[in-house]
Amino acid sequence: MADHVLSPNLAVDQEADRILKAQRRRHLVSMVLRYGILAAVGLLMLYPLIWLVGASFKTNSEIFAGAGFIPHEPTTSGYVNGWKTSTPYTFGHFFWNTFLIVIPKIIGTAISCTAVAYGFARFDFPGKKVLFASLIATLLLPNVVTRIPQYLLFRDLGWLDSFLPLWVPSAFAGDAFFVFMLVQFLRAIPRDMEEAARVDGANTWQVLLFIVVPLLTPALISVCLFQFMWTMNDFLGPLIYISSVDKFPVSLALKLSIDTTEAFEWNRILAMSVLTILPALIVFFVAQKYFIEGISAGGVKG
Amino acid sequence: MSGDNRFLGLIYLSPYIIGLLVFTALPFAASFYLSFTDYNLMSAPVFTGIQNYIKLFTADRTFRKSLWVTLVYVFTTVPLKLAFALFIAVILNYKLKFINFFRTAFYVPSILGGSIAIAVMWRYLFADVGIVNMALAGIGLEPVNWFGDPTNALFTITLLRLWQFGSAMVIFLAALQSIDKSLYEAASIDGAGKFSTFWHITMPLITPVIFFNLIMQMVQAFQEFNGPYIITQGGPLKSTYLLPLYIYEQAFKRFDMGYASAIAWVLFAIIMVLTVIAFWSSRHWVYYAGDKRS
Chain B contact for A276, CB < 8 A? yes
Nearest CA in chain A to B252: A240
Give the distance, in angstroms, between the CA of residue A154 and the centroid of all CA atoms in the same chain. Answer: 27
Q: What is the pLDDT at residue A289?
A: 78
**CA A294/CA A217 separation, integer angstroms:** 12
Higher local confidence (pLDDT), A165 or B179:
A165
Q: What is the pLDDT at residue B293?
A: 44
Q: Is B191 left (phi over 0), alpha (psi -120 to 50) or beta?
A: left
**CA B203/CA B200 separation, integer angstroms:** 6
Considering only the beta carbons, identify the residue of A131, A233, A266 that sits closest to B13: A131
**CA A261/CA B185 separation, integer angstroms:** 62
A:11-30 residues touching chain B, CB 8 A cutoff: none
Judging contacts by C-beta atoms under 8 Å, the chain A residues touching residue B34 are: 148-149
Substitution target in B34, B81, B86, B108 with the highest count of A β-carbons within 10 Å is B108
Which residues in chain A come in under a pLDDT of 50?
1-2, 300-302
Decide if B111 contacts A280 (C-beta within 8 A). yes
The closest of B102, B104, B100 to B112, measured between CA atoms, is: B104
Query: Considering chain B, what is the average pLDDT of its residues?
Result: 89
Chain A contact for B105, CB < 8 A? yes
Would you list the domain boundaries of chain A? 8-55, 79-300
Closest approach of chain B CAs to the CA of A25, in angstroms? 16
* Residue B290 pLDDT class (50, 70, 90 cuts): low
Chain A contact for B19, CB < 8 A? yes
**CA A284/CA B169 separation, integer angstroms:** 17
The closest of A214, A231, A223 to A297, measured between CA atoms, is: A223
CA dist B254 → B57, B203, B230 (Å)? 20, 48, 19
Q: Is A85 left (phi over 0), alpha (psi -120 to 50) or beta?
A: left
**CA A237/CA A141 separation, integer angstroms:** 17
Q: What is the pLDDT of residues B189-242, one digit of tens each?
A: 888 777 888 888 888 888 888 998 999 899 999 999 999 999 998 889 899 999
CB contact under 8 A, B9 and A42: no
**CA B122/CA B4 separation, integer angstroms:** 57
Size of interface A-B (CB pairs under 8 A): 259
Q: What is the pLDDT at residue B1?
A: 46
Substitution target in B107, B116, B195 with the highest count of A β-carbons within 10 Å is B116
Tell me the domains of chain B and their CATH numbers. Answer: 51-285 (1.10.3720.10)
Give the phi and the psi of residue A60 in degrees, each rounded to 5.
-60, -35
Residues ≥6 apart with Cβ < 8 Å to A138: A176, B20, B24
Chain A contact for B6, CB < 8 A? yes
Chain B contact for A280, CB < 8 A? yes
Q: Specify the amino acid at residue B108.
A: V
Higher local confidence (pLDDT), B35 or A9:
B35
Chain A contact for B56, CB < 8 A? no
Q: What is the pLDDT at residue B4?
A: 57
**CA B54/CA B279 separation, integer angstroms:** 30
Given a cut of 90, whether residue B19 has pLDDT beyond it is yes
Judging contacts by C-beta atoms under 8 Å, the chain A residues touching residue B219 are: 140, 142
Chain A contact for B258, CB < 8 A? no
CA dist B198 → A299, B62, B135, B203 (Å)? 21, 45, 35, 6
pTM of the model: 0.89
Q: What is the pLDDT of residues B242-281, one digit of tens each?
A: 999 999 999 999 999 999 999 999 999 999 999 999 989 8
| Superfamily classification of domain A79-300 | MetI-like (1.10.3720.10)
Closest approach of chain A CAs to the CA of B271, in angstroms? 8
Q: Specify the amino acid at residue B131.
A: I
CB contact under 8 A, B4 and A204: yes
Other CB atoms within 10 A of residue A99 CB: 15
The closest of A183, A176, A178, A179 to A138, measured between CA atoms, is: A176
Closest approach of chain B CAs to the CA of A47, in angstroms? 10
Give the phi and the psi of residue A105 in degrees, each rounded to 5.
-65, -40
Substitution target in B81, B120, B253 with the highest count of A β-carbons within 10 Å is B120
Closest approach of chain B CAs to the CA of A277, in angstroms? 7
Chain A contact for B249, CB < 8 A? no
Q: What is the pLDDT at residue B289?
A: 62
ipTM of the complex: 0.88
Decide if B168 contacts B85 (C-beta within 8 A). yes
